Amino acid sequence: MKKVLALGLAAAMCMGFAAPAMADVQIAFSQIGQESDWRTANTDSINGTIEAHEGWELIYDDAQQKQENQIKALRNFITQDVDYILFTGVVSTGWEEVLAEVNEAEIPLILIDRLPDCIDDIDYVAAFGGDFVEEGRRQVAWAGEYLKSVGRGDEEVNVVIMEGTTGASAQTGRTEGNLAALEEYPNLKLVGQQTGNFTRAEGQAVMESWLKSIDKIDVLIAQNDDMALGAIDAIKAAGLVPGEDIIIVGCDSVKAAFEAIVAGEMNATIECTPLYGPFVEETIEALENGEEMSKEIVHPEEGVYDMEGGIDLGTVTSVAAADVIDERIY
């Protein structure tokens, strides 16, 4: 009985693997998992684009935040001899061996989002990811330029930086950008720096303590919107008005941040877009047409959203959140 069952299962698996071979272009995508709304929007964008494209077949693997699952998925993709592999790594190290196998199999590799540390030692056809340093720079620059625009450019203001999970690429990059930009605005004085682990609850607890230990806080730079949203509650509990008494700049541009900005409780959010679908589509179409791609890491075009718009940050000018809130899909 057991043997029959095993045979049946094996047959089913063979058929399962054989079926996609009928399609024209097979695109395999090894995704980290579903850890946040951002990630969900990222998956939906990429998968949606591929599925909607005529003649393209999606082979999707959700690794549930485990590196071993991703390695297994990549090896499966090699066995299935897919046409393209899209890859973002849950961690930055330990990919040398399996990516070398992908190279050996001569399957074009497209790196997205979290790029592996071994990026210089492997062959890839295109790389696309957020520029965390630039996002960090924009956060502080927005605060500096905004203060200038309301005539507080010379006033000395106290700034606190609420960092993400220590060691995460988004935290190291944004902190680097934050600190570099602070040098350019001498009136911004750094008075506090602490991790809020990218979560609302810890953002709230850290802000609560800061409000007691630091005499005057004028600007909060939170390295993601969730921490900013948590901090808003702590600011209210301390009898202050978020968005007025304390200027709050978040990052990511999730929908809840837009709602907070429209409600006047948050000042700005720097976008970190998860919508990679169009890039993936363009790249694969170009490769299918035999075009050569640049190895340069491509950064997505991202906006800055605030209450009124019109703050010029050099590389980008802010847009009023209220104007675009209805278009936001994540």
Partner 1 sequence: MKKKAIDFSVITRSKITWAVVAEILILLVCFIIRPDFFSISIQPSTGVLYGSLIDILNRSAEITIIAMGMTLAIALGGTDLSVGALVAVSGAMALKLMRWDVLEYSTPGDYTVYPFWMAILLPLLTCMLMGLFNGILISKGGMQPFIATLILMVSGRGIAQILTNGKQFTTMYSPFRVIGQGHLGPIPMPIIIMTVVCIAMAVFVRKTAFGTFVESVGVNKSASRLSGISSDTVIIIVYTLTGLLAGIAGLIYSSRIMSNDSNNAGINYEMDAILAVVIGGTAMTGGKFSLIGTIIGSIIIRTIVTFVYYFGIVAEATMAFKALIIAVVIILQSEPVREYFARRSEKRALQG
Q: How near is the Cβ of 82 to partner 1 at its closest, in Å?
A: 26
**What is the token pair recorded at 178?**
């934050």
Q: How near is the Cβ of 67 to partner 1 at its closest, in Å?
A: 17
Q: Which is nearer to partner 1, 34 or 93 (CB)?
A: 34
Q: How near is the Cβ of 245 to partner 1 at its closest, in Å?
A: 12
192, 214 contact by CB (below 8 A): yes
Q: Which is nearer to partner 1, 65 or 103 (CB)?
A: 65
Q: Which is nearer to partner 1, 82 or 157 (CB)?
A: 157
Q: Which is nearer to partner 1, 163 or 271 (CB)?
A: 163
Q: Which is nearer to partner 1, 213 or 289 (CB)?
A: 213
Q: How near is the Cβ of 209 to partner 1 at its closest, in Å?
A: 4
Q: How near is the Cβ of 207 to partner 1 at its closest, in Å?
A: 9
Pairing of strands 188-195, 157-163: parallel
Residues 170, 233, 138: CA angle, nearest 5 degrees: 35
Q: Which is nearer to partner 1, 130 or 230 (CB)?
A: 230
Q: How near is the Cβ of 316 to partner 1 at its closest, in Å?
A: 27
121, 96 contact by CB (below 8 A): yes
What are the residues binding partner 1 (CB under 8 A)?
A: 34-37, 40, 163, 166, 192-195, 197-201, 204-206, 208-210, 212-213, 226, 229-230, 233, 237-239, 256, 259
